[in-house]
Chain A
């Protein structure tokens, strides 16, 4: 027992192992972390269009911006349709598309609408919005909008909108995107934003607070309706003041430090203290376990499946192959211990070291995901991928143990390691460059991407190398059907049944080990 501990300690402390462990632990985690922004934020385009003028001359100003980040979008085409005519104009670097029209009356302008691409450059997703007349009505902070224009004008739309947005410095916190009549047109008086933590539970009692459109909603009236007591507005803290024509994301980082709640009430006042409107926002942002899971499967697992086999094989070489060739192993073999125990203890040590590294990597990235996104990788995914990694570790370690027990030169063993890495791991299964599967199915067998034959070939290839095991369990994760492109097939049609995959895993765990055991105990 003490001997095995010594072997494990020795395997763990080898310089190369430590270096590879650092690679294994850090790179996949880094890849996962850097991909967080790209995978998680669904960024789309929003627009606000205003019109101002009189008689037959109107200026139209459409502001196009990202609703995730609040940043203006340059070069977006806006198609205005007015009384059967179409006009196209493009946003400038500040996100404004402006034009002046000379032959339409107020009613025609108010009934006009425009389209813009929700995903820049993809006209299939264009949205239509109405133009908002800027002409002040009654309360200067509100304007009337299309459907009720020229009617009794009792419904108003605020000149400002508020919605949650992404902020780059903290993916666990929402920013607040405030737009206050973003246009190149007339200015309006400033409004000031005040805040207080939502101690009275307006958010939890159902008040989402997105009272952006509609009649003026006074906070205390609203809380009364909910049966709560009034907020004392004089206790609210000043946050900042907005000018009209502004559109920005404000980061609530300063305001959330040292509080343990993320529910806030924001209220807007005019410069003379008139209440303009309010909003209740939960600023804490969590990513769904599903999103974290798919992030993990898409980014971290492929990295692990690239590096873990390499570490497993290097460790097998350092712990067994090199010692056997240099004669260091003989100083142990000569002791009162069976040859089987010698190779087994070395195997345990080597495999154990890589297990530790893989577990550390999984643990670290789960912790990082939680720290950055507020959600751990689901335990079932961790266990499943650990099983897959274990299969790969045992498979590749066993292969190198076997090679080490029949080869008598360091060069040959290293060549075997490199060959196995490039052939059975890198070119076979690494998602960025799966050259071998592509070559086999496309060029050798002339199969088309996405056909059943193609998928079957891929599955068989994944059974042939231990590194394909990650793919096998990834397919199985898609439950009973495997979807590729537009086609779906039952997984059983592509040899991906639960018993088969489990059997393959057990085979990879035990077969190479058994082969090296037999070869080391029976011959030199």
Chain B
């Protein structure tokens, strides 16, 4: 694995030597096709995700990023290797907040009931979980939508609700799998900023999968670039622009943004222009 540190980070950024939130140690994963032949998807991922950092995963589509998340969330067992969350085996539910691709709100539940889902599964009594959910909606100015059904909301609003649903159970680690991919560019910029500030106020460890290199650079402390399937970490970049400059927009207009963009683009380009095409 190549480790590259094009930028020296400041003290505010969780850095080398910081506590490790999630440790992936030589994780491998293969699925089986109908004949029972193994299809290797993850060749070898070894990666330490630091406490309180915001790390992005970029890689060619279909390389195994979502599979990696499913393993971290303990929805899938790795074929080999080990994964630890603060030193122990991850448990479903309490510790990891998993926000999947698209918003995935339940169409038959109102916004309030959607937000309460995690608490409901955890067995929090009805009155209490609804009160908590209402409180959260109020905090993010979404209280007006409490009794609406998801289909009446715009994509950006639904994504905000999905984030609140993820945060309400107070997980230690938040996994975001291409949360902005279905949104138009403007909504995405606004939401990047907003979500980053929400997440910062909670001081969570966040892992973001995205196919948007710009988004990864603008939001993250670090960016991990993955190889094609079977995947592994190709390169790690220390970024931290938004944390230092205070916003994604400022990060995007920083000269280092373009440099990083070109480097990561080159990393991905080599793979995409490789034997596959």
Are these two chains actual partners, yes or no? no
Query: Residues of A at under 8 Å CB distance from B?
Result: none
Q: Which residues of B contact A (CB under 8 A)?
A: none
